[in-house]
């Protein structure tokens, strides 16, 4: 009998508990929990309809407080929401619904359907001005920083400041812009600490430079170059390396000494088959620009490339400063298309693809007056027909000489041209009756030579 009564009591209690549970579930499925806000307005304990009513009837004061101080006071407005705003609130209710009371906070937003662009721009401008005044005499923090130098990574510690974090305040303004009254708190801006994941990641990335190297192709010659040879200092931020190249990298000087041709003497095989050494004068050739090369190689290393060519890093001098003859291996870097001028023989030879295509007697610069055609390796700057050469003669008087064919090869004004006015074509004419530095040619030969020449080909004078 007692057992039966006990079972009945338990059953009644279970039914009651179930009823309470179902009632609780129904309530919290149809009412917001206590710590829920929409546009900063507490809607705890309200149904979706009641919550919408409360939010829609709460005027926008358009006031902004910063650390408790009113910094912006706009006109009051009645909020206007989209047509489906009620459905949005209903969905928000379902998102936070629980079986039992919950203290979990939820902050929902119901977007305004009204033009607030000008108002919000004024808010931002005013807030920016206020923060500027507050930070006027305050000290900015300095982030901890990892720096790579000479295969070693050092981390400078962070320095704390006193300035407010404007970026976070502005972000908070954006988050709370739909609230009737906006209350913001400005906090001191915190620096990036040395033990932060960001700095640790930078340290790990920078240590990889210790083994960084790339193959630098110099006119067909592969050269291994290490990061420490071309990178002075490096940092790592936002997933990218930033570095300062070595200004005058010793490795580039070594490569220039070994492979570059600008300002060097050439081993040249003459028309007669003799090998001579030219003077180091002349504008023909190329050289590696140290500062540009260090940047090129450094960039290749930090981006993970395995090789890079020096072609983009070379320079020259004279009319074309991009450098000439890079990659040319024949004839000690002169190639097989060139013009050859012998002062002693007073003769010129013109070669194309290794074959002699023209040859002629010439008269070079006047030796007795010091107007010798300059020896060395030069190059054809450009070609021009029917022009007038102007300058000053040995007597100090200006001259103007019309020519049909003009091919200059020095910036000082020396070049090949026809000389119809010349009477003395002897092999010794250049000694006392030579030109002002140009290579004079018979009118009958000048046209053939003009056609045999081409822009940028070397002109060897010896």
pLDDT digits (tens, 9 = 90+) for 198-215: 999 999 999 999 999 999
Instruction: Give the pLDDT score at 396.
Output: 85
Report the Cα–Cα distance between both ends of the chain, in Å, rounded: 135
Contact by Cβ (8 Å): 12, 81: no
Q: Which residues contact 259 (CB under 8 A, 6 or more apart)?
A: 218, 219, 221
What's the rounded mean pLDDT across residues 408-424?
98
Of 290, 239, 238, 288, the residue nearest 263 (C-alpha)? 288
**Residue 184: per-residue pLDDT:** 97
Structure confidence by residue, pLDDT tens digits, 280-301: 999 999 999 999 999 999 999 9
How confident is the prediction for the chain on average, in pLDDT? 95
pLDDT value for 15 = 47
Which residues are within 8 A (CB) of 15 and not within 5 positions of it... i.e. 6 or more apart? none
For residues 421 and 400, what is the distance between their CA atoms, to the nearest angstrom? 12
Residue with the larger pLDDT of the pair 1 and 424: 424
pLDDT over 90 at 78, yes or no: yes
Collect all residues with Cβ–Cβ distance below 8 Å to 182 and sequence separation of at least 6: 40, 63, 64, 65, 123, 173, 176
The structure's pTM equals: 0.77
**For residue range 352-385, what is the model confidence (pLDDT) as tens digits?**
999 999 999 999 999 999 999 999 999 999 999 9
Query: Which tens digits make up the pLDDT trace of 9-63?
Result: 555 555 444 444 555 678 989 999 999 999 999 999 999 999 999 999 999 999 9
- Give the per-residue pLDDT at 394: 79
| pLDDT number for residue 129 | 96
CB atoms within 10 A of CB 426: 11
Give the burial class of 125: count Cβ atoms within 10 A of its Cβ; 0-12 exposed, 13-18 middle, 19 or more buried.
exposed
**CA-to-CA separations, 74 to 68, 164, 379, in angstroms, rounded:** 17, 24, 75
Q: Is 75 a catalytic residue?
A: no
| pLDDT of 3 strictly over 70 | no
Check 31, 414, 438, 442 and give the catalytic one: 438
Tens digit of pLDDT for each residue in 233-269? 999 999 999 999 999 999 999 999 999 999 999 999 9
The two tokens of residue 9 are 């009591």
Pairing state of beta strands 355-363 and 376-379?
unpaired
Q: Domains of the chain, with CATH numbers?
A: 212-315 (3.10.20.800), 336-461 (2.40.440.10)
Note the pLDDT of residue 18: 46
When pLDDT is averaged across residues 420-426 and rounded to a whole number, the result is 97
Over residues 114-137, the mean pLDDT reads 95
Task: Name the active-site residue from 31, 414, 417, 442.
Answer: 417
Given this model, what pLDDT does residue 20 score?
A: 47
Q: Identify the three-state secondary structure at position 329.
A: coil
Question: Any catalytic annotation for residue 242?
Answer: no
- pLDDT tens sequence across 184-203: 999 999 999 999 999 999 99
Which helix H or strand E contains 439, and what residues bound it? strand 439-441
Interatomic CA distance for residues 113 and 128, integer angstroms: 26
pLDDT attached to residue 8: 57
């Amino acid at each position: 009998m007692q057992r039966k009564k006990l079972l009945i009591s338990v059953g009644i209690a279970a039914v009651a508990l179930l009823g309470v549970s179902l009632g609780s579930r129904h309530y919290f499925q149809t009412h917001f929990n206590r710590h829920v806000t929409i546009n900063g307005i507490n809607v705890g304990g309200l149904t979706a309809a009641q919550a919408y009513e409360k939010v829609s009837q709460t005027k926008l004061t358009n006031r902004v407080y910063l650390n408790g101080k009113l910094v912006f006071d706009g006109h009051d407005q009645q909020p206007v929401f989209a047509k489906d705003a009620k459905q949005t609130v209903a969905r928000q209710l379902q998102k936070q619904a629980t079986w039992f009371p919950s203290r979990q906070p939820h902050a929902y937003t119901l977007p305004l359907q009204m033009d607030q662009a000008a108002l919000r721009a004024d808010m931002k401008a005013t807030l920016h001005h206020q923060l500027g005044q507050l930070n006027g005499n305050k000290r900015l923090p300095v982030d901890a920083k990892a720096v790579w130098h000479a295969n070693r990574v050092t981390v400078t510690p962070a320095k704390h400041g006193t300035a407010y974090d404007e970026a976070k305040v502005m972000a908070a303004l954006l988050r709370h812009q739909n609230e009737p009254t906006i209350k913001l708190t400005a906090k001191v801006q915190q620096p990036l600490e040395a033990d932060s994941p960001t700095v640790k990641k930078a340290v790990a990335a920078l240590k990889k430079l210790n083994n960084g190297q790339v193959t630098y192709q110099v006119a067909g010659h592969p050269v291994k170059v290490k990061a420490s040879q071309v990178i002075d200092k490096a940092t790592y931020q936002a997933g990218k390396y930033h570095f300062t190249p070595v200004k005058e990298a010793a490795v580039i000087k070594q490569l220039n000494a070994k492979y570059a041709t600008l300002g060097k003497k050439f081993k040249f095989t003459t028309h007669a088959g003799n090998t001579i050494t030219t003077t180091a004068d002349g504008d023909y050739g190329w050289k590696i620009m140290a500062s540009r090369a260090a940047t090129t190689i450094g960039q290749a290393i930090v981006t993970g490339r395995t090789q890079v060519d020096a072609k983009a890093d070379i320079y020259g001098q004279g009319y074309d400063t991009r450098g000439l003859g890079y990659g040319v291996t024949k004839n000690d870097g002169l190639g097989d298309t060139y013009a050859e001028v012998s002062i002693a023989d007073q003769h010129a030879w013109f070669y194309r693809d290794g074959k002699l295509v023209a040859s002629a007697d010439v008269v070079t610069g006047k030796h007795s007056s010091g107007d010798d055609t300059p020896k060395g390796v030069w190059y054809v700057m450009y070609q021009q027909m029917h022009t007038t050469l102007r300058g000053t003669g040995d007597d100090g008087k200006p001259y103007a000489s019309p020519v049909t064919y003009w091919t200059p090869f020095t910036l000082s004004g020396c070049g090949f041209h026809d000389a119809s006015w010349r009477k003395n074509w002897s092999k010794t004419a250049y000694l006392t009756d030579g030109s002002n530095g140009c290579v004079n040619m018979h009118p009958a030969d000048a046209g053939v030579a003009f056609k045999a020449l081409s822009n940028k080909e070397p002109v060897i004078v010896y």
